[in-house]
C-alpha cells in the first residue's frame, strides 16, 4: 500500500472511531445534554467549514491562477448519431418531430 492510501485509511478509521465514541457518550448523557452537546459540535464544525472556505477563496485570489477559459468546439458528423441533435445556447420553443399537417379540405 502506498503512503497516501495508508493516510486515508487512518483518517477514515480515526473519524469512525471518534464518531463511535461521541455516539456512545451522547447515548449515555441523556437526551437534553446530548442535544446541547450536538448543537455546540455542529456550531464548531460549521465555523471550521466557513473558515476553510474563506481560506480557499483568499488563497485562490492571491495565487492569481484563475481557471483558464475553455472554448468548446462541437462537431456532429453524418451518421454518427442515431437521433436528433440540438446544439447551442438560449433556445426558445423547440419542437421535435413531424409538424402537424393542415387538414386537406381547407377547414380549420
Would 85 be classed as within a structural domain?
no
Average pLDDT of 4-17? 93
Would 44 be classed as within a structural domain?
yes
16: cell is 469512525
Identify the three-state secondary structure at position 100: coil
Would 108 be classed as within a structural domain?
no
Number of domains in the chain: 1
Would 73 be classed as within a structural domain?
no
Confirm if 37 and 43 have CB atoms less than 8 A apart.
Answer: no
Would 80 be classed as within a structural domain?
no
Higher-pLDDT residue of 45, 22? 45
pLDDT at 64 over 90: no
| pLDDT tens by residue, 15-39 | 999 999 988 888 888 888 889 988 9
| Alpha-carbon span 33 to 27, nearest angstrom | 10
Residue whose C-alpha cell reads 437526551 in the numeric block: 31
Band (103; pLDDT cuts 50, 70, 90): low
pLDDT, the chain, mean: 81
| pLDDT tens by residue, 88-101 | 766 667 666 666 67
Domain extent at residue 35: 3-63
In our burial notation (b when 16+ CB lie closer than 10 A, e otherwise), range 1-17 reads: eeeeeeeeeeeeeeeee
85: cell is 441533435
Q: Which of 84, 81, 77, 108 is nearest to 98 (CA)?
A: 84
Would 29 be classed as within a structural domain?
yes
Would 34 be classed as within a structural domain?
yes
Average pLDDT of 35-47? 92
Band (66; pLDDT cuts 50, 70, 90): low
Amino acid at each position: 500500500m502506498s503512503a497516501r492510501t495508508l493516510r486515508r485509511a487512518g483518517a477514515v478509521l480515526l473519524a469512525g472511531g471518534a464518531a463511535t465514541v461521541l455516539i456512545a457518550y451522547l447515548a449515555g448523557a441523556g437526551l437534553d445534554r446530548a442535544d446541547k452537546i450536538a448543537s455546540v459540535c455542529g456550531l464548531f464544525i460549521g465555523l471550521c467549514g466557513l473558515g476553510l472556505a474563506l481560506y480557499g477563496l483568499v488563497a485562490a485570489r492571491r495565487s492569481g491562477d484563475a481557471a483558464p477559459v475553455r472554448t468548446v468546439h462541437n462537431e456532429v458528423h453524418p451518421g454518427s448519431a442515431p437521433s436528433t441533435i440540438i446544439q447551442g445556447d438560449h433556445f426558445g420553443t423547440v419542437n421535435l418531430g413531424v409538424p402537424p399537417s393542415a387538414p386537406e379540405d381547407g377547414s380549420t
